[in-house]
Amino acid sequence: MSPRHNPLHHALTATAVAALERQVELMNVHRHPASTGPIADDGLRDPAMPIEHLSDEQCWELATAAHGPGRLGFIAPDGAPDVVPLDFTITNRQIYCRTSPGTKATAITDNPQVAFEIDGVAGAQRWSVVFRGVAWRMEERAEIDQSRVTDLTPSLPVPTHVFLRIAPLRVTGRRFTAVPRSHA
């Protein structure tokens, strides 16, 4: 009997998911203190270092409003790090992705620790938010429907019937004003 059709496998998977959800709830996403950028010796923001470190709330607001693919970082089956673009949606501070079958779904089964980056541009400002956490393939129809991941319009011209859930354990973000490029 394959693990996919084994009731014990489903019970263990449900138990593992519940344990991870509880861990995320208890951790309430690792907090990083908000700052307005690097601090000079006099305690004021250093204008020579215009990088703003974002609060958790700012990270979630930017990520939730973002459009386009994010990037999933994971350890591939050969042990090397890999990064792939994925369509995503965010519901209840969980990241949901839809993709095609392949390396990433296999890899997160073996090593569920992942990073997911979302970035964007607003005028001259650039921002990047990175979530670190655990990911798993969703199998239960109710969870898939509740996540709204099926509402995503896939970017890939192939079937994307693999649904992933990422439970962030840590979030960091930065924003800065881009340096104008000189035209030579």
39, amino acid identity: I
Q: Which residues is 127 bridged to in the sheet?
A: 120, 175
pLDDT per residue rounded down to tens, the chain (184 residues): 444 444 444 444 455 555 555 544 444 433 344 444 444 444 444 556 679 999 999 999 999 999 889 999 999 999 999 999 999 999 999 999 998 888 888 899 999 999 999 999 988 899 999 999 999 999 999 999 999 998 888 787 777 889 999 999 999 999 998 887 765 4
Q: What are phi and psi of 86, to 5 degrees?
A: -140, 140
Cα 33 to its chain centre, rounded Å, is: 20
Reported pTM: 0.73
Could you give the CA distance from residue 108 to residue 98 in angstroms, rounded to a whole number? 14
Cα 15 to its chain centre, rounded Å, is: 22
